Amino acid sequence: MADLSKEQYLALYRQMFEIRRTEEQLAKAHQAGLVHGACHTYVGEEAVATGVCAHLTAKDSVFSTHRGHGHALAKGVPPREVMAELFGRVTGCSRGRGGSMHLFSPEVGMMGTSGIVGPCILQATGAGYSAKLMNTGAVGVAFFGDGASNNGAFHEGLNLATIWDLPVIFVCENNMYATEIAFSYATRNTNMAERARSYGMSAVAVDGNDVLAVYQAADEAVRRARAGNGPTLIEGKTYRTRAHSEGMPSLGTYRTQEELDAWKARDPISTYKAKLLQSGAAAESDFEQIETAVQRLVDESFEFAKNSPYPDPSTVSNHIFSAS
Ligand SMILES: Cc1ncc(C[n+]2csc(CCOP(=O)(O)OP(=O)(O)O)c2C)c(N)n1
Ligand SMILES: [Mg+2]
């Protein structure tokens, strides 16, 4: 096991638990009609964002996807701002104008989720280029799925970041499917690390359900980037245990109940908790305290979001770029 302090071990647990509870609340809110627009949850994949973002500060930039609630939370956007944003309220991180797929909070370096699959790879490359030019010591981080790796942006971004030794971390969340298309169907080379290495960059594949494995890989990648030694691709092999998007069937015809059950048994949160208990790194009472506090935070965030006003209609044309 990685050599962390008890506080560090528990901070990782707390972050994953906060993402899980927020997502579960959002899924219920979606069923109740409170969420405007699509809602792709991060349930099952929490260890990836948590293990990576533990190494980042507010000056590091994260660019994310349609499945981005977990990235925003792990980067430091409070659950109430995420919930309010999905409910279209003025107190949301994008003032209620963006929703799930436009979560922006530059104050904490959350540079946006996006429904367009792929561009976050190029945006993070741009952030790395900017950090290098300005000599800020910051890193750019792209979170993206296996599906995005078959998009042109992947190849352009990885190549450019490599030849210019940019401080970028490419985090591929390989959950085996793009919507309902298996990764093994969509490419003849499913070895993501090998694909990245073919550009000449460092790459590593880790168990994306093991937060400590992700944490260690990200530690090395962030150090390498900050030292000026170029980008890294981290492939986190993981699985989403809910539907692609809320309202869609969680199984469909593309995956089996057995597969889903097998991954649920490898849940990143409960397996981590069991590991910490077994090793004596933390006690049952530590988890009780964290779980109670997080549940209270999520409940309060939900009430806050639900009771917040919608943006005033008279402000509809604010924040819109106009050349005239
Ligand atoms: C450029 C582009 N092509 C297609 C889509 C439709 N689309 C939305 S989500 C998705 C699947 C993405 O799969 P992946 O990158 O593996 O992420 P996951 O949903 O598995 O987290 C697709 C194809 C899109 N939003 N953008
Ligand atoms: Mg996928």
160-191, pLDDT tens digit by residue? Answer: 999 999 999 999 999 999 999 999 999 999 99
What's the rounded mean pLDDT across residues 64-87?
98
Which residue has the least CA distance to atom 20 on ligand 1?
Answer: 178
pLDDT tens-digit map of 44-68? 999 999 999 999 999 999 999 999 9
Percent above pLDDT 70 for the chain = 99
- Rounded CA separation 146/294 (Å): 31
Q: Which residues of 226-248 are buried (b: 16+ CB within 10 A; e: fewer)?
A: eeeebbbbbbbbbbbbbbbbbee
What's the rounded mean pLDDT across residues 307-313?
97
Closest ligand, as measured to the CA of 121: 1
Q: How far are the Cα atoms of 255, 267, 282 from residue 136, in angstroms, in the given order?
A: 45, 37, 37
What is the whole-number distance in angstroms between the Cα of residue 136 and the centre of ligand 2? 32
- Rounded CA separation 88/107 (Å): 20
Q: Is 79 exposed, middle or buried (0-12, 13-18, 19+ CB in 10 A)?
A: buried
**Which residues make Cβ contacts (< 8 Å) with residue 153, sequence separation at least 6?**
118, 119, 121, 122
Q: Which of 164, 106, 167 is nearest to 136 (CA)?
A: 167
What is the whole-number distance in angstroms between the Cα of residue 278 and the centre of ligand 2? 32
Predicted pLDDT at 319: 84
What's the rounded mean pLDDT across residues 314-323?
84
Q: Does some domain include residue 50? A: yes
Supply the DSSP string of 270-320, one letter for each residue. HHHHHHHHHHTSS-HHHHHHHHHHHHHHHHHHHHHHHHSPPPPGGGTTTT-
Instruction: Scan for tokens 């460092």, then name that residue.
Output: 202
Which residue has the least CA distance to atom 12 on ligand 1?
Answer: 178
| Cβ of residue 236 lying under 6 Å from some atom of ligand 1 | no
| Cβ of residue 45 lying under 6 Å from some atom of ligand 1 | no
Predicted pLDDT at 252: 83
In the predicted structure, residue 158 carries a pLDDT above the cut 80: yes
Q: Does some domain include residue 307? A: no
Atom of ligand 1 nearest to the CA of 148: 15
Atom of ligand 1 nearest to the CA of 244: 19
Instruction: Scan for tokens 């106009």, then name that residue.
Output: 322
Predicted pLDDT at 64: 98
- Rounded CA separation 237/218 (Å): 14
Which residue has the least CA distance to atom 9 on ligand 1?
Answer: 179
CATH number assigned to the domain comprising residue 272: 3.40.50.970
Which residue has the least CA distance to atom 11 on ligand 1?
Answer: 178
Predicted pLDDT at 1: 74
- Supply the mean pLDDT for the chain: 97
| Cβ of residue 66 lying under 6 Å from some atom of ligand 1 | yes
Atom of ligand 1 nearest to the CA of 179: 11
Phi, psi of 77, rounded to the nearest 5 degrees: -80, 125
Predicted pLDDT at 202: 98
Other C-beta atoms lying within 10 Å of the C-beta of residue 57: 13
**Count: domains in the chain:** 1
Instruction: Scan for tokens 């910051």, then name that residue.
Output: 138
Assess contact for 172 and 192: CB atoms under 8 A. yes
Q: Does some domain include residue 106? A: yes
| Cβ of residue 180 lying under 6 Å from some atom of ligand 1 | no
Mutational pocket test of ligand 1: of 101, 144, 156, 179, the residue with most ligand atoms within 8 Å of the beta carbon: 179
Closest ligand, as measured to the CA of 70: 1
3-state secondary structure 26-80: HHHHHHCCCCCCCCCCCCCCHHHHHHHHCCCCCCCEEECCCCCHHHHHHHCCCHH
Taking each helix axis from N to C terminus, what angle separates 79-86 and 284-307, rounded to the nearest 10 degrees?
40
Q: Does some domain include residue 23? A: yes
Closest ligand, as measured to the CA of 117: 1
Q: Which of 39, 41, 145 is nearest to 99 (CA)?
A: 39
Q: Which residues of 290-322 are buried (b: 16+ CB within 10 A; e: fewer)?
A: beeebeebbeebbebbeebeebeeeeeeeeeee
Q: Does some domain include residue 149? A: yes
Across-strand partners of 235?
172, 205
Range of the domain at 251: 6-300
| Cβ of residue 138 lying under 6 Å from some atom of ligand 1 | no
- Rounded CA separation 86/97 (Å): 9
In the predicted structure, residue 2 carries a pLDDT above the cut 80: no
| Cβ of residue 117 lying under 6 Å from some atom of ligand 1 | yes
What's the rounded mean pLDDT across residues 16-36?
97
What is the whole-number distance in angstroms between the Cα of residue 45 and the centre of ligand 1? 16
Q: Does some domain include residue 319? A: no
Which residue has the least CA distance to atom 4 on ligand 1?
Answer: 117
pLDDT tens-digit map of 233-283? 999 999 999 999 999 999 989 999 999 999 999 999 999 999 999 999 999
What's the rounded mean pLDDT across residues 88-117?
97
Q: How far are the Cα atoms of 160, 192, 200, 201 from residue 232, in angstroms, in the given order?
A: 12, 12, 10, 6
In the predicted structure, residue 152 carries a pLDDT above the cut 80: yes
Residue 136, both tokens = 């800020």
What's the rounded mean pLDDT across residues 10-32?
98
What's the rounded mean pLDDT across residues 130-158?
98
Its pTM stands at 0.97
What is the whole-number distance in angstroms between the Cα of residue 240 and the centre of ligand 1? 14
**How many helices (H) does the chain have, and how many strands (E)?**
12, 7
Q: Does some domain include residue 169? A: yes
Mutational pocket test of ligand 1: of 117, 187, 246, the residue with most ligand atoms within 8 Å of the beta carbon: 117
Q: Does some domain include residue 89? A: yes
In the predicted structure, residue 324 carries a pLDDT above the cut 70: no
| Cβ of residue 238 lying under 6 Å from some atom of ligand 1 | no
